[in-house]
Amino acid sequence: MQDVASQLIEALGSKTVALPGLNGVQVPEFILTSWGIMALIMIMTLVFTRNLKVVPGKAQVVLEGIYLFIHNFLSDILGERGKRYIPYLGTVLLYLAVSNTIGLFGLTPPTKDLNTTAGLALMSIVLVEYAGIHEKGLRGYFKSFASPMPAMMPFNVLEIFIRPLSLCMRLFGNIFGGFVIMELIRLIVPVIIPLSFGFYFDVFDGLLQAYVFVFLTSLFMQEKLEA
Amino acid sequence: MSALIGIGAGIAVFTGIGAGIGIGIATSKATEAIARQPEAKSEMNKTLILGCALAEATAIYGLVIAFLIIFFSK
Of A169, A177, A215, the CB nearest to B50: A215
**Residues of chain A neighbouring B56 (CB-CB closer than 8 A):** 170, 174
Question: A169 vs B50: CB contact, 8 Å cut-off?
Answer: no
User: A12 lies in a domain?
Assistant: no
Q: Mean of the pLDDT values across residues B3-31? A: 92
Q: Residue A8 domain-assigned?
A: no
Domain that holds residue A94: 17-226
Interface test with A, best of B60, B67, B74 (most A CBs within 10 A): B60
* Residue A129 domain-assigned (yes or no): yes
Tens-digit pLDDT profile for residues A49-100? 887 888 878 888 888 999 999 999 898 888 888 888 999 999 999 999 999 9
Write out chain A residues lying below 8 Å of B71, CB-based.
Answer: 9
Residues B3/B5/B10/B16 CA torsion (nearest 10 deg): 180
A8-36, pLDDT tens digit by residue? 777 777 777 777 767 777 888 888 889 99
Q: What is the pLDDT of residues A39-51, one digit of tens each?
A: 999 999 898 888 7
A2 in a structural domain: no
Question: Model's pTM, two decimal places?
Answer: 0.86
d(CA A86, CA A102): 24
Mean pLDDT (chain A) is 86
- The pLDDT, as a whole number, for residue A227 is 62
Per domain, the residue ranges of chain B are 2-72
User: What value does the mean pLDDT take over residues A86-115?
Assistant: 89
Mean pLDDT of chain B: 88
Residues of A in contact with B67 (CB under 8 A): 176, 180
Q: Is the peptide bond before A148 cis (omega within 30 degrees of 0)?
A: yes
pLDDT tens figures, A154-205? 888 898 999 999 899 889 888 888 888 888 888 888 788 888 888 888 888 8
Q: Which of A73, A72, A98 is nearest to A216 (CA)?
A: A73
Where does the pLDDT of residue A1 fall: very low under 50, low under 70, confident under 90, or very high at 90 and above? low
pLDDT at B74: 64
pLDDT at A225 over 90: no
Q: What percent of chain A has pLDDT over 90?
A: 25
ipTM, two decimals, is 0.77
Distances in whole angstroms, Cα of residue A170 to Cα of each of A163, A176, A177, B61: 11, 10, 10, 8
Count structural domains, chain A: 1
Does residue A39 sit within a domain?
yes
User: Looking at the predicted structure, is the pLDDT value of residue B14 above 80?
Assistant: yes
Q: Count of CB atoms within 10 A of residue A212's CB?
A: 22
Are the C-beta atoms of residues A110 and A27 closer than 8 Å to each other? no
- pLDDT value of residue A184: 82
The CATH-assigned architecture of domain B2-72 is: Up-down Bundle (1.20)
In whole angstroms, give the CA distance from residue A112 to residue A30. 8
Residue A4 has pLDDT above 90, yes or no: no
Nearest CA in chain B to A166: B57
Would A10 be classed as within a structural domain?
no
The chain A residues in contact with chain B (CB within 8 A) are: 9, 166, 169-170, 172-174, 176-177, 180, 208, 211-212, 215-216, 219
Answer with the residue of higher pLDDT: A121 or A55: A121
- Would the CB atoms of A177 and B60 count as touching at under 8 Å? yes
In a 3-state reduction of DSSP, which class is residue B9? helix
